Structure formats: structure tokens, C-alpha cells
Structure 1
Amino acid sequence: MNTPQTGILAVVPDHARYISFQLSDRTALEVTLQAIAAQADGERVVVGIGLSVVEALGQHIPGLLAGPRIDGSLVDIPCQPIALWLWLRGSSRGELLHVERHWVELVAPAFSRQHSIEAFKYDTGRDLTGYEDGTENAEGEEAVAVASVMAPAADALVGSSYVAVQQWLHDFKTFDAMTDAEQDNTVGRHRISNEEFDDAPESAHVKRTEQEAPTPEAHVLRRSMPWSAGNRAGLVFTAFGHSLEAYEVLLTRMSGAHDGIIDGLFGFTKPVNGAYVWCPGMRHGQLDLRALGL
């Protein structure tokens, strides 16, 4: 049976690069995807396929969308569809520079690079605001069930994952002007102890994204990492799931489309791009692209 790409379930690395590509040459698509499947190990290089590639191949991945589009959202949620997504994971910036060079050249026959975002682990896995990220993540077999498609789905889909990726840009001047209590109320947790408090306002992030609150429950596996470029910085939000439904439920609540209450995070940070992709599972040590007709 297929298994998820191992980098999805592993802890976030010390350094990473998120690279997005657009489809540039349909005639070279099949051979390029086969080269990707042969070289990607799913651990140091996690691969995601966008809707435009699926459609170019005349195939269908159930539930795959190009990116977030939340009806009734009270905030701007950008959608910038991508064709190919690579999450490069490593231990040093220099290492990943050379890995990125290799992969950009490998996929060049069919794909052109759109964005490259340099990310890193901060402290023990915190956002640059100092708050711990992914505190409600499932672990072990529960994490596998949350993050990947399980049987009895079609064999070629088992072990695959749906991924929501958003790059958030923080306004640190606004955040720093808030008192400690205001910051904690915005998140709904104490920054130092990481404990949630029951009397947090309904706009607190933990209230907006409480995975047990919706019916059915909306669980995702977060693997987000901070990013920086010059004096700009924020968080690359990355959520894996066995579908996109849970993430869309949470984003609907964050955006105010559910009940008119906007997540307090929007007071000091905002998404500047966002897309959905599908990560094939691994079969016999390679990416399983049978669902794409390959």
C-alpha cells in the first residue's frame, strides 16, 4: 500500500525552501513528471501537483481546487494557483541553495519558477511573534489519518495528501505596539506558558481555528515555518489533509464568513498568496503518479 511522503509527517527541518512553478511547456510535461517521480524522495523533497497540471493531463483528482476562494469572506484572501510545488527540507541554507539549483534545472523542460521562499525553524518551532505553532497537531497513526488519504479510496490516491499553502506577511510594528495581554488575547494563548485560556475573545485565533468546534470536526496537520527576505517576514502556513474540506472550514471561520467574526490575527498579519496542491503518495520508493495517468 502507498505511504505518505515522509517529510509531511516529520518535524519541520532547521531550514527549508518553498518553490512554486508554473507550467511552461505542455509537450514536455509527462517526461518531466517522470523525472521528478524518480528523484524525489518525499523526505528531503516533498512534491505537490497543482490543478493546472492535472487538467493538462486530462485527469481528475477528487476535491482538488486551484486555491482558496471563500464566499462571504470579510478579508482579502489571495489565490495564486501554481502548477508544481516543492518543499525542500535541509539543515543549512547553503545546502538548500544547491538543491534548489538542481531542481530548477531538472524541471525546466516543463516548468518555470514563480516564487522561492526561504524559511527556517525559529526557537523550538514558534512563529516569529513568539507563539508556538501547530499545538493541536495529531501524532502517530492519527497524524497519518488526518494528513493523507486512507483506504478504501482508489489505490492510486491512498497515501496522497492535499495541501494548503499560504504566505503570511507580518506587520511587526503593529504587533509590537500591542500590550502583552492584547497579544495573548489575539492568539488565545499565553505566549510564555503556551496555555490556552477559556475567557479568550471569540476573535482569538484558537477560537476561530478550534478543530473540534465544526461538525464534522476539521482536523489538519500543520507544518508551517517562518520566512524572511530583507525587512519582510512572516509565516509560510502549510496544512496537510486527506482533503481540502477541513482547511476550508477553518479558513471560513477565520475570514468572518461563518459568523461575521474575523480572526484577530488579521489585525497584524495578512496572507499575500495562497494555493492548493496535491502530494502523491510513495510506491516502491517513488512518487506514485498513476492517478495522473503516468
Structure 2
Amino acid sequence: MPMPDTEPQAVDSPITASAIFIVMTLTPGDDHASTVRDWCGDVAAFVRSVGKRVPSGYLSCVCGFGSHAWDTLFGAPRPAQLHPFREIRAGERVAVATPGDILLHIRASHMDLCFELATQMLERLGDAVTVVDEVHGFRNFDMRSMIGFVDGTENPQGREATKFTIIGDEDATFAGGSYVLVQKYLHDMKGWNALPVETQENIIGRRKLSDIELASDVKPSNSHSSLTTLDENGEEMKILRDNMPFGRVGDKEFGTYFIGYARSPAPIEQMLENMFIGRPPGNYDRLLDFSRAVTGGLFFVPSADLLEALVEPGAQAAAASAPQPDAPAAANGDGSLNIGSLKEQRHHA
């Protein structure tokens, strides 16, 4: 569980009717890196300023950083399990790894709020970043994915959501943070819609209309539901999905933006291995015969407190190493963030 004095970002916020997903890469250069670090301290203020205009709009934003970006912007220490997205390849089935340094997951009940927040935040970042992927998602009827099945039925709720998504004392320096993995899938809707509903249900592992899970004695072992269910010591390991449909009808583009949060990337990566390679190998997710991943990225989501503190590293190191009353001067010659000291200092300021 997170430390009592650590506030997570809006990871566990309720699913909304609209969302914008933005993946960016960093522009090389110290000045650009400084711009991004300064921007980190203003993210919460942007959300407050835009959200205050429509208090009932449930506006939120989650900001995450890729492995390369963390090293470039912040250095040591680094989140214990942060690493580049690991491509998974099994024949024609590929979970691709694509460039991405910063992720923005913006949610609201109305797209105008999402759009305004994205506009203001990217204007502040300017040339310091390049947008490499932008997806505008929408709620599809009663929480149904593009392929017509209800999505996210088994999402953890309340305290259980915190348990499975928020880092605790296993990585105390980064308590209150989370990991998020994203993939953009494109669907062969013509091929999918040509399947009988019963065949679709066997591929997903649920009834299409009622959303009731198929009985264990009839649900295929290669169904999507079977392969994405993980057990550890008799307990089901869950992730929090906030997937959104997206598309462009004129271009015949129909897709699902997968976004999964967890306190460790391990369960999400295991689910992907089960889907693409199979459990056992070869017994893969038949949904991949109709769905193709075209992006893939893994990001660390710092706590809200830490995100606000991730400003100029030199300033942080100086603040953290400044002599405290009745305490010896702290030495810090390695250029690290001194995050632990900084967090303690901020909370007692």
C-alpha cells in the first residue's frame, strides 16, 4: 500500500465518456529537458484550471515516463521495475515496441475538456517534445469495445484497485506511483462481424449480450478471458484497464486503445505473453487473428507529489542537501535527485 502521506495521480479515477491518449518523444538538448521538468510541476495546475470551468466534468490527467526519458530527465534513483517495452513475437503475431518517452492519459465526461487540457499542456511543452501518437477515445454504448463486448468487467474497484495498481513499500522511494502499459490495436471488423456470435463468444470467453462469463467447462482455454486471467498463490492478480474504442469511419479504421495500470509491469507482460505466445505455447488468443497491435509502450507514473517535485535536478539536489537545523550538512556529489530527502522536506515544509 502507498505511504499515508503520498498522493497518487488519478490512476484509479472512474472511466469517463471521453479520453485522449498522447505519446510523445523528447527533443534532445538540455534546454528542452529543463522545459519538460518545469512542466512537471505545472501538470496539476493545468488540470485544476481547465477542470474548474466545468466542475461536473470529471477531468483528470495521468502523466507517465518511459525508461529512456526517466534517465534523461531525472537520473538516479529510478523506479525499480521500469524498463523499455519488451516486444513479443510469435510468427505473425507481434506485440510491437514503438517510440515513447511521455504518456498523457486525459479523461473527462466531455471531449471538449480533454481537448482544451491537451492543447494547453502541449503549448507549454512547445518544441521540447514531438507527438508520435494521439488517439481520441469514446465510450461505446454500455461500455462495449469496438468488437461489441463489454470491456473491463473484472476491473478491481475501491481498495482492491489501490492494492493492485499503486506501489507500496516494495519500492518505498516511489510509493504512490504506478506502471502503465499501452497498445493501440486495429481490428478487422469485416472478418470479425462475419463470425457467428457463438464463435465470437468462444473467442472472448463471455456472452456477447449479457456479458456473463462462460462456464469453466465450456470456455476454451485459448479464449481471451482464460489467457488474461492470472493466479498467484491462489489469488487472482488483477490490473486496471481503461480501454477506449476509437476510429475513423472514412478510413475504415476501427480500433481499441488498450491501457492497463498495475503496481508492477509483470502481470501485464505475462498476460501479453499468454495472448501472443500462448499458454502453453501455440495456444494463443484467437482474438489476435482479427486484432493487430500497432504501438506498444511501458511508462512509470510517479505519485502526484513526486510529479510536482520533478523540477530542475540541480535545484532539487541543492534543496535536498541543504543543512537542516541540528543536522549535519548532507553531501550529494552524484547528481542524483535525492527524491527521498526531497519528499520528506516538502511534506514538512
Residues paired across the two proteins, number: 291
3-state SS of the aligned residue for 1:100? helix
* 1:141-160 matches, cutoff 5 A: 141-155=159-173, 157-160=174-177
Tell me the equivalent position of 2:42.
Answer: 38
Tell me the equivalent position of 1:232.
Answer: 253
Tell me the equivalent position of 1:52.
Answer: 68
Tell me the equivalent position of 1:256.
Answer: 277
Structure-1 separation of matches of 2:69 and 2:80: 14
1:182 paired with 2:199, answer yes
Structure 2 stretches lacking a partner, 5+ long: 48-58, 314-335, 340-349
Tell me the equivalent position of 1:195.
Answer: 212
RMSD: 2.4
Q: Tell me the alpha carbon deviations over residues 35-73 of structure 1, each in whole angstroms, 9 at most, x when there is no partner.
A: 233233676221011111112143322111221323767
| Equivalent residues of 1:218, 1:249 under 8 A apart | no
Tell me the equivalent position of 2:126.
Answer: 108
Structure-2 separation of matches of 1:124 and 1:33: 39
TM-score by structure 1 length?
A: 0.90
* 1:203-214 matches, cutoff 5 A: 203-212=222-231
Structure-2 separation of matches of 1:35 and 1:46: 14
Summarize the Cα distance change of 1:147–1:97 in structure 2 as closer, same or farther, 3 Å threshold: same
State the Cα distance separating 1:280 from its structure 2 match: 0.8
Tell me the equivalent position of 2:237.
Answer: 218
Please identify which structure carries the higher helix content: 2
Tell me the equivalent position of 1:166.
Answer: 183
Tell me the equivalent position of 2:13.
Answer: 10
State the Cα distance separating 1:277 from its structure 2 match: 0.5
Tell me the equivalent position of 2:138.
Answer: 120
| Equivalent residues of 1:20, 1:114 under 8 A apart | yes
Structure 1 residue ranges (4+ consecutive) displaced by more than 6 angstroms after TM superposition: 213-216
Structure-1 separation of matches of 2:154 and 2:230: 8
Q: Which has the higher Rg, Structure 1 or Structure 2?
A: 2
State the Cα distance separating 1:217 from its structure 2 match: 4.8
- 2:275 maps to a residue whose letter is M
| Equivalent residues of 2:187, 2:254 under 8 A apart | yes
Identity over aligned residues, as a percent?
24
1:140 paired with 2:158, answer yes
Summarize the Cα distance change of 1:103–1:188 in structure 2 as closer, same or farther, 3 Å threshold: same
Summarize the Cα distance change of 1:265–1:214 in structure 2 as closer, same or farther, 3 Å threshold: farther
| Equivalent residues of 2:40, 2:310 under 8 A apart | no
| Equivalent residues of 2:6, 2:303 under 8 A apart | yes
State the Cα distance separating 1:142 from its structure 2 match: 1.2
Structure-1 separation of matches of 2:25 and 2:189: 32
State the Cα distance separating 1:282 from its structure 2 match: 1.6
State the Cα distance separating 1:216 from its structure 2 match: 7.5
| Equivalent residues of 1:5, 1:280 under 8 A apart | yes
Structure 1 stretches lacking a partner, 5+ long: none
| Equivalent residues of 1:32, 1:109 under 8 A apart | no
| Equivalent residues of 1:67, 1:276 under 8 A apart | yes
Structure-1 separation of matches of 2:235 and 2:7: 25
| Equivalent residues of 2:167, 2:178 under 8 A apart | yes
Structure-2 separation of matches of 1:118 and 1:214: 39
Tell me the equivalent position of 1:86.
Answer: 104
State the Cα distance separating 1:29 from its structure 2 match: 1.2
Structure-2 separation of matches of 1:214 and 1:109: 48
- 1:68 maps to a residue whose letter is R
| Equivalent residues of 1:137, 1:222 under 8 A apart | yes
State the Cα distance separating 1:125 from its structure 2 match: 1.6
| Equivalent residues of 2:205, 2:213 under 8 A apart | yes
Q: Tell me the alpha carbon deviations over residues 248-271 of structure 1, each in whole angstroms, 9 at most, x when there is no partner.
A: 111111112541211011121111
| Equivalent residues of 1:130, 1:191 under 8 A apart | yes
Structure-2 separation of matches of 1:228 and 1:72: 27
